[in-house]
Structure 1
Amino acid sequence: MTIKLKCLSHTPLRGYNDPAPEIVAEVEDQLIKAKAEIDAFNPELIIIFSPDHYNGLFYDLMPPFVLATDAESVADYGTLQGKLSIPKDIAAALHRHLLDSNIDMTLSHRLQVDHGCTQTLEEMTGSLTRYPVIPIIINSAAPPFCSYRRIRKLGEAVGNFISSLNKRVLILGSGGLSHEPPVPLLNGAPEDIAEFLIAGRNPTPEERKAREARTIEAGKIYGTSECSLTPLNIKWDEQFIEILVKGDLQSIDAFDVDEISKTAGRSTHEIRTWVAAFSALQATGDYIAKKDYYRPINEWIAGYGIISATQK
């Protein structure tokens, strides 16, 4: 058993609303380096923790987390189209293990996944199907949320399962850091928005294009006096990264959902994917981690970061 971890921010605005060319090149260089590491590692299995942005999961049935034995990309924001290469027998065994570990994991045999999952797979592997992958989607956009302690326990249980495999396993966490794109809230929403949040699957191409255009326009003014959305919080991002690098994961149990939303942005809760990923790695033994990159990028509505870790 050999394990490698990569946690990185995703942003649907790459290529749609870019910062200065030198910053784009800087990020691209980091992604090329990260992919080269994964190419050299040549994982036999990838487990990716990622969020959903009201593309596969809606309030008609909103689980705190769900594991898929079959998943297909919705191809939003120009991401790749097609099915993920999920090993059904291993996915089923992981699901069984999680239930036996007192984790009430929801199961899907036909899940739609969006850029929160597919952009990271594409960036790190060049494909949706190059390696066997098991996606675990963690609700990070649709309150109410379960506690951060529960996410850490989920990660631990996944890590215990990984320890039983004689495989090279890559753990990916996709999301964060501080950011607040224009994602609507169900509470107080107009009737048409509420209906979308409850059952908005499979929008028309025109509806998807209009939705993406709103996010692109928000990126053009994000971080300025014209924008009412919570700005990026560099201090918060750096403190969170330090917690992960030091391995002080139990301190995350005290994270307060409302406080994070106010100080770093409502979509900052995508860091739950990073918490689960690092908790999975830590459950297999002590690790060594490092911050590869961090930069606040308003144009992408993201505190953009990349962290790596391996077993000691």
Structure 2
Amino acid sequence: MSETMLTCASHSPLMYCRTTKPPQEDEVNAAFASRAEAVRSFAPEVIFSFGPDHYTSMFQRLAPAFVVGTKAEAVADIGGHPGTLEVPYQLAFDCIDAVYKAGVDVAVSHDLKIDHGSSQALHRVAGGISAFPTIPILINIFTQPLPPFRRSRLLGEAIGTFAKNSGLRALFLGSGGLSHNPESIFPAVGTGGDMVDDYMRSGPGLQSDREEGWLKRQNDIHIVAAGLMADGVITDADCCFNIELDRKCLEIIARGELETFDEWSPNDLIKEAGIGSVELSCWIAAAAAHRAAGGPLPQVDYYAPVLQYGVAVAVAHG
């Protein structure tokens, strides 16, 4: 019988480059510290990390709904934590095979790149990107058409069932959300200028200077945004904070009623809570995996919109 733990948490590069300390920062840090202590005590044999991709491995040229990595490297993007993940190759391979047999299609990468969307949660919750063996799973959140939330749930269920059948002590980690709208940082293709458009279409290829230019832009634009938030130029409305909708999402997850999201549209969610809100997919997948592995209902540890971070921050566990 497997042991299972769930942690879902928001991320933001602005947590590391904010100009002014938000009034909620001590509470946010305490929520993360509590989860990190619990994970250290749990000492998972493997982490299944569900994270979004911010044009690091998925591009307009090729953007599968889901990618599972058998080998992975974290890039040095702002808010991220670079380095090599300890991916258990055979276990990842077996997991992919089990997901296929469960009827869920995933892409496979034997040289995956992850960004802050996964590495920040691993750093803050697990104590580092290589602290525990980790199988990274990326979910497409930017390239249309977006995978339906139902597919994310089924992905999580297949992985949770695999973990249960394998008798693994597993942590299911979901990183992302809730409501936020980094549209100026990740503009629609065709609106960001030649360099940005070219990169989002095809990525760096074999040209390291293209990646360096993209990462520099990410760094610079976040620093500018931090200043604008401090000066009140960027507001809660610009961030598309939607407290009512966020709380509804958290209540559904806490009740374990994940099938409710099956009828939700990612694009409708974007209209109500910003382009970053579809990172909810990572929470759904992680929570579904935890449930399928036999875990108890989750509980919400913290929630608050934090302007200086540009995101409505939430932390939950099970």
Same fold (TM over 0.5): yes
Name 1:82's counterpart in structure 2: 83
**Aligned CA distance change for structure 1 residues 277 and 261 (closer, same or farther; 3 Å):** same
Name 2:95's counterpart in structure 1: 94
2:201 is equivalent to residue 194 of structure 1: no
Superimposed CA distance per residue, residues 39-59 of structure 1 (whole angstroms, 9 cap, x where no aligned partner): 110111110100011122211
Name 1:67's counterpart in structure 2: 68
Equivalent of residue 209 in structure 1, options 209, 216, 225: 216
Q: How many aligned residue pairs are there?
A: 309
2:3 is equivalent to residue 2 of structure 1: yes
Structure 1 stretches of 4+ with a deviation exceeding 4 A read 187-191, 222-228
Partners of 1:136 and 1:297 in 2: CA distance? 27
- Following superposition, the deviation at residue 211 of structure 1 comes to 2.4
Where 1:288 maps in the other structure, the secondary structure is coil
2:303 is equivalent to residue 303 of structure 1: no
**Aligned CA distance change for structure 1 residues 21 and 230 (closer, same or farther; 3 Å):** closer
Name 2:291's counterpart in structure 1: 282
2:55 is equivalent to residue 54 of structure 1: yes
- Following superposition, the deviation at residue 128 of structure 1 comes to 1.5
- Following superposition, the deviation at residue 33 of structure 1 comes to 1.1
Instruction: Tell me if structure 2 keeps the 8 A contact 1:222–1:231.
Output: no
The CA RMSD over aligned residues, in Å, is 2.0
Instruction: Tell me if structure 1 keeps the 8 A contact 2:39–2:125.
Output: yes
Where 2:143 maps in the other structure, the secondary structure is coil
- Following superposition, the deviation at residue 207 of structure 1 comes to 4.1
Where 1:285 maps in the other structure, the secondary structure is coil
**Aligned CA distance change for structure 1 residues 67 and 226 (closer, same or farther; 3 Å):** closer
Partners of 2:138 and 2:313 in 1: CA distance? 20
* Aligned-partner residue type, residue 198 of structure 1: R
Name 2:119's counterpart in structure 1: 118
**Aligned CA distance change for structure 1 residues 5 and 18 (closer, same or farther; 3 Å):** farther
Equivalent residue runs for 1:1-312 within 5 Å: 1-17=2-18, 19-20=20-21, 22-77=23-78, 79-181=80-182, 182=184, 183-186=186-189, 190-201=193-204, 202=208, 203-221=210-228, 229-285=238-294, 287-309=296-318
Superimposed CA distance per residue, residues 226-268 of structure 1 (whole angstroms, 9 cap, x where no aligned partner): 5684521111111100000001111110111221111100110
Identical positions, percent: 32
Where 1:296 maps in the other structure, the secondary structure is strand
* Aligned-partner residue type, residue 11 of structure 2: H
TM value normalised by structure 2: 0.91
Instruction: Tell me if structure 2 keeps the 8 A contact 1:18–1:300.
Output: no
- Following superposition, the deviation at residue 24 of structure 1 comes to 2.0
Partners of 1:162 and 1:212 in 2: CA distance? 37
Partners of 1:286 and 1:131 in 2: CA distance? 20
Superimposed CA distance per residue, residues 115-163 of structure 1 (whole angstroms, 9 cap, x where no aligned partner): 0111110111222212110000001122220211111111111111011
TM value normalised by structure 1: 0.93
**Aligned CA distance change for structure 1 residues 278 and 79 (closer, same or farther; 3 Å):** same
Superimposed CA distance per residue, residues 182-202 of structure 1 (whole angstroms, 9 cap, x where no aligned partner): 211125554443211112225
Query: Unpaired segments of 5 or more residues in structure 2?
Result: none
Query: Unpaired segments of 5 or more residues in structure 1?
Result: none
Where 1:77 maps in the other structure, the secondary structure is coil
Where 1:134 maps in the other structure, the secondary structure is strand
